[in-house]
Structure 1
Amino acid sequence: MGLLGLTYTYVPRQGTDVRVYLLLPLLVLLSACSTPPELQNTSPELPLDWQTPRDEMAGASGWRQDLNDPVLNLWINQALQRNPALAAARQQLAAAEQRVRISGADRYPQLSLELGSRRQEDSERVDSLELTLGWTPDVWGELSARQREAEFSRAAAAAAYDEQRETLAAAVAQNGFALQEARLLLALYTQRRDNLQQNLEIIESGYRQGLNEALDLYLARNNLHAEAARVEQQQQTLSELQRELERQLGRYPAAQLTTEATLALIDTAIPAGQPADILTRRPDLQQQWLTLLAADATLAAAHRDRFPALSLNAAYGGSSDALGTLLSGGNLAWSLGASLAQSLFDAGRKSATQEQALAQRREQEQRWLDAVFTALTEVENALSARQSLQARYALYLKAEQNALNAETLAFEQYQNGLESYTTVLEAQRRALDAQTSVINLRRQLLDNRVALYRALGGGFQHSTSSLQTVQTSAPETP
């Protein structure tokens, strides 16, 4: 017990008049006429401007153009072409394209040809040939809803691909900044090691002349050895960063990538726009919205699946105990048929399927809203971090100069017997900390620039050409 239906088949025979009979189904639609709830208000209230104070934003073409770094841009282009994970995402997008074709094919008639042969006990072999044409008209719009679901899923996959491209490009850029920082730090540590070697020679000479104490000699040697160890550690850090970049570029991790030991300082403003702009510019938000539309289409299809199913079919063929007789056409006949079926009892399967689709759509509504507020938080944090980094960088530039002057003066006074060597060590530590902080802040400023552009949705021309349609199309609930 599951389906109530009426099937009519017309088979013409020789010597009889051709009569056309109409199919008169008498079915009760039962609970299929219920309507699922429509989408809730998924448009969050957004302010007209960002809450974090910011500079007057000027026009800019994107963080890759701002950097004006040919080597870094070359690496990004290579990663976009060769990265295996991104190549896998391209194949996922290609599979989504084919799912759209598959869902669209269900709306067209299906034509098949079957040639068979069977033998029963104590009987001769019987051959059969049949050409069948079947079609399920999309009376209630279930098939069109499933096709829309596949199209929204394909657009969501395209947006996910755009997001993965931007994420990869940003990761390559930030790893490139880290590589430049590592080279600058290696040069700094190497220079300090050489300076400490010169200081040690001066102290050893004074010790032999009885001008310096043994404690000062031991402290100077300890300082030199510690700095030499820091150089070795920085070499390893540099090699690891090179291998990570080579992995992202789809190369063998041979630690052979080279770049200049410099970190650009860019002062141009970034066009932040308005909070609502990121809804159309960020591919991750586009993906969430398209996934929501796909979930709504799935709900519509599940609802319409509860209505009666109409099928039309036509066949031309026959059977014979001799294949030659069958192919001659003497035993071939044609037939027409139609059926209409409605589920009477399925233990609640179709109802549960619709409720499941409704719950999944409601879940995606909340995921969409969470993604929007997460994106807004990322922009506000990046804007405030930008101001903080700029202020800290300006202060550390002054701190660096003061620390270097203090280091030079402390060693001169130590040589003149006016200060202890511990004062020299403290001055050296402060100078190293200040120089390291300046280099680190320059790298953080570049990272923040990329992160802010990413949070605002800038940097690439997206491959999702249906963006405007996505924003203006309303979900079609039945």
Structure 2
Amino acid sequence: MRTYLFLPLMVLLTACSAPPELQPPSPDLPSAWQSPADTGEQSPDWLVGLNDPALVELVDEAMLRNPSLEAVRQQWLAAQQRAEITGAARYPQLSLELSSRRQEGSPRSESMEQGSGWTLDVWGKLSADQREAELSRAAAEAAYVEQREALAASLARNWFALQEARMLLMLYTQRRDNLQQNLDIIESGYRQGLNEALDLYLARNNLHAEAARVEQQQQTLSELQRELERQLGRYPAAQLTNDALLPLNDEVIVAGQPAEILTRRPDLQQQWLQLLASDAALAAAHRDRFPAFNLSAAYGGSSDALSDLLSGGNLAWSLGASLVQSLFDAGRKAAVQDQALAVRREQEQRWLDALFSALTEVENALSSRQSLKARYALYLKAEQNALSAETLAFEQYRNGLENYTTVLEAQRRSLDAQTSVINLRRQLLDNRIELYRALGGRFASTAKSAPLQQAKESDTP
């Protein structure tokens, strides 16, 4: 008897060895960003700060109709239900069973049993399971917030890309028309014997190449329209119009301190919650190695007649208690605990990687912003000079002072400068969006089903 009592005690003491405690990673962060950053007051809503009401309306529509966002919301709702299911295991379970049986050569037997069972959470294993489920639910909520922010930023970038494509189409179309006028002048001079055939062929080649560029840009415009319509949950008919031109926005973006993004960015919050959830899963795996205490109760009986059974004469109650401890499982539970420990350590490194990636995004966006501003100012001057040179070169060619290759070079430089100015205006807007996102900026959607509170109150599928 002593041997039988000593063996479970040794198993219990072996299982009680505690897993390594979670040591929160504490990276050394500077007090200020290394790249130049603005100071002052900042708008709490980055989307409104872009000063494009049409874009705000599109984002509201996407919050309601985008399938990918809705899929992530359903994952969040599923995580909520998982937390409910896990929490229910901590309470007693009640059941009622009514059965009727008949065996050959025997009368029918009626039986009824009302039972209850309760697993006592002595070691806190069920509490750890519930905590892991609650943290996973919170991580799913953070993932939903991150998906909303990512969708709004992607839609804003595509919206401004559509404006850029439209401005380039206007530029190429105007350039094609100008080249057609130049060709008419050269053809007239060729018929009069003033211009050479080579100039005529070069002018025609230039016109045809520009006409092909117009066709290509029209296709690019249609593809951007379809991509926006896809994000809005519409049929991709390439009918979304955007008559606006790329705005110039000099609103201040306050970067704050590097440590502030820990609480601002939902993706970092998601990673941190997943780390805490993995720690709770490790605690549950460790406590699952302890003995399980179960209580049970039943009240019921059986009879040949249902009326006798309902009268209560054949009913009886029973109570039970059990202590269950695994004596040999070939190391399965120990391996489960070690697996959970490896998952937790993996999640620690993933959180650190996400943090340093976020810091890199902010530093790159800040330094890129200064470079883009300087390049844009320089290209504005280059555009003015290139346009003047293009006009002067053609005038001198008509007067016989320059050959046509000089005209072609001036036209190429003019096109490059104008295209670069338009492209840099779009890059400045993209950089503003990226910086807002990297710093953890939020936007306030007016869509009815977009806020988190309404998502919490919505019915589950």
Q: Same fold (TM over 0.5)?
A: yes
Residue 188 (structure 2) pairs with residue 188 (structure 1): no
Q: Is it true that 1:94 corresponds to 2:77 in the alignment? A: yes
Match 2:21 to one of 38, 56, 67: 38
- TM (norm. structure 1) is 0.90
The aligned residue for residue 9 of structure 1 is none
Q: Structure 2 counterpart of 1:56, which letter?
A: T
Q: CA deviation at 1:136?
A: 1.1
Contact in 1 for aligned 2:39/2:255 (Cα 8 Å): no
Paired letter, 1:289: W
| Residue matched to 1:325 | 308
Q: Does 1:133 align with 2:116?
A: yes
Q: CA deviation at 1:459?
A: 2.2
Larger mean Cα displacement after TM superposition, 114-123 or 258-267: 114-123
Q: Is the 8 A contact 2:46 2:443 kept in 1?
A: no
The match for 2:457 is none
Residue type of the alignment partner of 2:49: D
- In structure 1, what residue type is equivalent to 2:187? E
Equivalent in the alignment of 2:210 = 227
Give the corresponding residue for 1:304.
287
User: Do the aligned partners of 1:403 and 1:431 also contact (CA within 8 Å) in 2?
Assistant: yes
How far apart are 1:121 and its partner, in Å? 6.0
| 3-state secondary structure, aligned to 1:343 | coil
- Counterpart of 1:175 (choices 150, 158, 162) is 158
Count of aligned pairs between the two proteins: 443
Letter in 2 for 1:213: E
CA distance in 1, matches of 2:153, 2:402: 49
Match of 2:195 in 1: 212
1:262 equivalent in alignment to 2:245: yes
CA distance in 2, matches of 1:124, 1:91: 52
Which residue in 1 is equivalent to 2:349?
A: 366
What is the percentage of aligned positions where both structures have the same residue? 77
Deviations along 1:37-75, one digit per CA (max 9) or x if unpaired, are 011341211000111123434422332112111111111
Unaligned runs of 5+ in 1: 6-24, 466-478
1:276 partner amino acid: A
2:447 maps to what in 1? none
Deviation track 1:181-228 (CA, whole Å, cap 9, x = no partner) reads: 000000000000111111111111111111111111111111111111
Is 2:38–2:255's contact at 8 Å kept on the other side of the alignment? no
Report the CA distance shift for 1:372/1:175 in structure 2 as closer, same or farther (over 3 A): same
Residue type at the aligned position of 2:167: L
* Structure 1 stretch displaced more, 340-349 or 110-119: 110-119
Aligned to 2:186: 203
**Cα deviation 1:342-401 (Å, max 9, x = unaligned):** 111111111111111011000000000000000000000000110110010001001100
- Residue of structure 2 in register with 1:12 after alignment: none
Mapped pair 1:64 → 2:64: no
1:54 to 37, 42, 48: 37
The worse-fitting range, judged by mean Cα deviation, of 410-419 and 201-210 is 201-210
Q: For the residues of structure 2 that align with 1:56 and 1:273, how far apart are their CA atoms? A: 8
Residue 131 (structure 2) pairs with residue 148 (structure 1): yes
Query: Are the equivalent residues in 2 in contact too, given 1:159–1:463 (CA < 8 A)?
Result: no
Counterpart in 1 of 2:442?
459
What stretches of structure 2 of length at least 5 have no aligned partner?
445-449, 454-461
Shift of 1:288: 0.2
Distance 1:249 1:223, change over 3 A: same
| Counterpart residue identity of residue 269, structure 2 | Q
SS in 2 for 1:29: helix
Task: Name the structure with the higher helix share.
Answer: 2
1: distance between equivalents of 2:383 and 2:288? 72
**Which residue pairs with 1:428 in the alignment?**
411
For 2:325, the aligned partner's letter is Q
| Rounded Cα–Cα distance in structure 1 between residues aligned with 2:9 and 2:419 | 84
Alignment match, 1:104:
87
Preserved contact between residue 143 and residue 267 of structure 2 (Cα < 8 Å): yes
Specify the code of the residue in structure 1 equivalent to 2:220. T
Distance in 2 (alpha carbons) for counterparts of 1:333 and 1:201: 109
Cα 1:333/1:27, change in 2 over 3 Å: farther
Cα distance in 1, alignment partners of residues 257 and 426 from structure 2: 27
Over 3 Å counting, the alpha-carbon distance change for 1:358 and 1:321 in structure 2 is same
TM-score of the two chains, using structure 2 as the length reference: 0.93
| Aligned twin of 2:340 | 357
C-alpha contact (below 8 Å) 1:60/1:271 kept by paired residues: no
Contact 1:400 1:434 survives alignment (8 Å): yes
Identify the match of residue 316 of structure 1 among 299, 304, 310.
299
Structure 2 distance, partners of 1:348, 1:294, is 24
**Higher alpha-carbon deviation: 52-61 or 410-419:** 52-61
* Separation of aligned partners in 2, 1:463 and 1:351: 43
CA shift, 1:463, in A, is 6.8
Question: Whole-Å Cα distance in 2 between the matches of residues 459 and 29 of structure 1?
Answer: 51
Displacement, 1:328? 1.7
Q: 1:299 to 1:208 in 2, by over 3 A?
A: same
SS at structure 2 position matched to 1:130: strand
Whichever residue aligns with residue 105 of structure 1, its letter is A
Contact 2:11/2:327 (<8 A) preserved? no
C-alpha distance in structure 1 between counterparts of 2:46 and 2:245, whole Å = 17
Deviation sequence 1:214-248 (CA, Å, 0-9, x none): 11111111111111111111111000000000000
- Distance in 2 (alpha carbons) for counterparts of 1:421 and 1:95: 70
Distance 1:116 1:415, change over 3 A: same
C-alpha distance in 1 between matches for 2:24 and 2:310? 64
CA contact (8 A) 2:109 2:302 kept: yes
Paired residue for 1:277? 260
For 1:41 and 1:446, how far apart are their aligned partners in 2? 37
- Secondary structure of 2:325's partner? strand
Cα pair 2:295 2:320 within 8 Å, conserved:
yes
Q: Which amino acid aligns with 2:37?
A: R
CA root-mean-square deviation: 1.7
Q: Cα distance 1:410–1:301, how it changes in 2: closer, same or farther (>3 A)?
A: same
Match for 2:379: what amino acid?
Y
